[in-house]
Amino acid sequence: MKSLNTKDKEFYQRHLILDGFGIAAQQKLKSSSVLVVGAGGLGCPALQYLVSAGVGRVGIIDDDVVEMSNLQRQTLYFADDLGKSKAETAAKKLAQHNPNVVIEPHCQRLKQQNITKIFDMYDVVVDGSDNFETRYLVNDACVILNKPLVFGAIFKFSGQLSVFNFKNGPTYRCLFPNPPSAEALPPCEEAGVLGVLPGIIGSMQALEAIKIITGIGEVMSGRVLLFDALGQKFNELKLSPVKKNQEIEVIEEMDPLTFCNHSEHSEVPEIIELSPRDFLEMYNSNPHINVIDVRESWERDIEHIQPSLHIPLGDFFDSTVADALPDELSENIVVYCKAGVRSFDACRVLMELGYKKIYNLEGGMLRWNSESMPLII
């Protein structure tokens, strides 16, 4: 265990006087190492708080350069950083903020050939990547090397957080056994993302890494935190480990051109955003459509579309949810919530369960009411 010097004690003074933290926890941080995958929207806040907290050695892996569109949410970079390496630029600025921490930039792309060598150098991995190819690659390497993985993801107005592969807990493949189609979940450059959202999720990723290292608090293993930015609401889902997903022995090579792509004859579903008016027209022509409300009971009590089935989002990660869903995987299912965020998460679960025709009511009840749509259809 590394001891604290005079500069450390001055820099981390607020930690040292904190009940339940103190010198012992700070020494654990100084003696530890964390690798952050991706120095983008999630990586920037995670890196800033990990370095500020005093993690002894922090690695940054990213082969990208700073672009103008990054500045809306990637707070480590400025206009005069355009065209520069993200990993190197972030490392320089973080070192200026806390010279007591060793910062190690890796200006390369993670691949099957280099991932285990890089990951083996660090105690904890924080995943700030923005594509499924990298997420599965990161997960599998962490399972093989037995490294705790702090997961974060953002999409439009929603975010997710969990810790995988921690003390025999679930892995990323326990949440998403297979990647969705590229059309179902487009990247943020196509779908957009609220600029403040990665700051919230990335900061919480740093918190989970600190908890893993120091042993304080309760780590988010076996739980998935869902954040709805529009409603300023958190939902928590329970996740159980699947044994085969904890026993990965080989990292398979993943082709980025085909990993999330499927042929035109593929039956892999996509989540279709449906406007209130289009939904009403569809329902009028086919009243046997399954409509599911994923809001909480108190929200439904205020108002809801009739007829509709009520399955709160939290129930979607319960093994018994299949009992409440349609028997035929080919049936049309329209899902709605308050603003279209929670319903999208439910659609992702339905997609994993094999349903083929999944629709998300765009804008949820907020848009439904703004367009004066009827509650009884």
Q: Which of 77, 98, 99, 97 is nearest to 88 (CA)?
A: 77
Is residue 327 a part of any domain in this protein? Answer: yes
Report which of residues 70 and 320 the model is more confident about. 70
Q: What is the pLDDT of residues 25-47, one digit of tens each?
A: 999 999 999 999 999 999 999 99
Please check whether residues 84 and 210 belong to one and the same domain.
Answer: yes
pLDDT for the residue numbered 255? 57
Is residue 256 a part of any domain in this protein? Answer: no
Please check whether residues 43 and 108 belong to one and the same domain.
Answer: yes
pLDDT for the residue numbered 95? 98
Q: How confident is the model at residue 321 (pLDDT cuts 50, 70, 90)?
A: confident
pLDDT for the residue numbered 284? 93
Q: What is the pLDDT of residues 43-79, one digit of tens each?
A: 999 999 999 999 999 999 999 999 999 999 999 999 9
* Residues contacting 5, CB < 8 A, separation 6+: none
Burial of 14 (0-12, 13-18, 19+ CB in 10 A): exposed
Please check whether residues 150 and 295 belong to one and the same domain.
Answer: no
Name, of 231-235, 268-272, 373-377, the range with top average pLDDT. 373-377
Cα separation, 153 vs 352, in Å, equals 17
Residue reference for tokens 């972030």? 90
pLDDT for the residue numbered 264? 40
Q: Which of 206, 147, 153, 187 is nearest to 171 (CA)?
A: 147
Is the separation of the CB atoms in 118 and 59 below 8 Å? yes
% pLDDT > 90, the chain: 73
Q: What is the pLDDT of residues 189-208, one digit of tens each?
A: 667 899 999 999 999 999 99
Please check whether residues 59 and 121 belong to one and the same domain.
Answer: yes
Q: How many C-beta atoms surround the C-beta of residue 157 within 10 A?
A: 18
Q: Domain span at residue 321?
A: 271-370
Please check whether residues 290 and 355 belong to one and the same domain.
Answer: yes
Question: Which of 207, 229, 246 is the last residue in one of the domains?
Answer: 246
Cα separation, 227 vs 273, in Å, equals 20
Is residue 11 a part of any domain in this protein? Answer: no
Please check whether residues 214 and 297 belong to one and the same domain.
Answer: no
Is residue 175 a part of any domain in this protein? Answer: yes
Is residue 350 a part of any domain in this protein? Answer: yes
Please check whether residues 223 and 362 belong to one and the same domain.
Answer: no
Q: For the chain, what is the domain count?
A: 2
Q: What is the pLDDT of residues 234-269, one digit of tens each?
A: 988 888 899 999 999 888 776 554 455 544 434 445
pLDDT for the residue numbered 102? 98
pLDDT for the residue numbered 263? 40
Cα separation, 48 vs 50, in Å, equals 6
pTM above 0.85, yes or no: no
pLDDT for the residue numbered 190? 64
Please check whether residues 357 and 284 belong to one and the same domain.
Answer: yes
CATH number at residue 310: 3.40.250.10
Q: Which of 175, 166, 172 is nearest to 217 (CA)?
A: 166
Please check whether residues 237 and 290 belong to one and the same domain.
Answer: no
Is residue 262 a part of any domain in this protein? Answer: no
Average pLDDT over residues 109-138: 95
pLDDT for the residue numbered 76? 97
Please check whether residues 185 and 109 belong to one and the same domain.
Answer: yes
Question: Which of 230, 246, 262 is the last residue in one of the domains?
Answer: 246
Strands 223-228 and 233-238, how do they pair? antiparallel
Q: What region does 277 belong to: left with phi over 0, alpha with psi -120 to 50, or beta?
A: alpha
176 three-class SS:
coil
Average pLDDT over residues 265-275: 69
* Residue-averaged pLDDT of the chain: 91
* Residues contacting 207, CB < 8 A, separation 6+: 49
Please check whether residues 172 and 211 belong to one and the same domain.
Answer: yes
Is residue 9 a part of any domain in this protein? Answer: no
Is residue 257 a part of any domain in this protein? Answer: no
Please check whether residues 39 and 153 belong to one and the same domain.
Answer: yes
What residues are annotated to the active site? 188, 337
Q: Which of 155, 116, 156, 148 is nearest to 132 (CA)?
A: 155
Question: Which of 179, 211, 246 is the last residue in one of the domains?
Answer: 246
Give the residues across from 223 on adjacent strands: 238
Task: Convert 89-148 into a string of H (helix), E (strand) and C (coil).
Answer: HHHHHHHHHCCCCEEEEECCCCCCCCHHHHHCCCCEEEECCCCHHHHHHHHHHHHHHCCC
CATH number at residue 87: 3.40.50.720
pLDDT for the residue numbered 332? 93
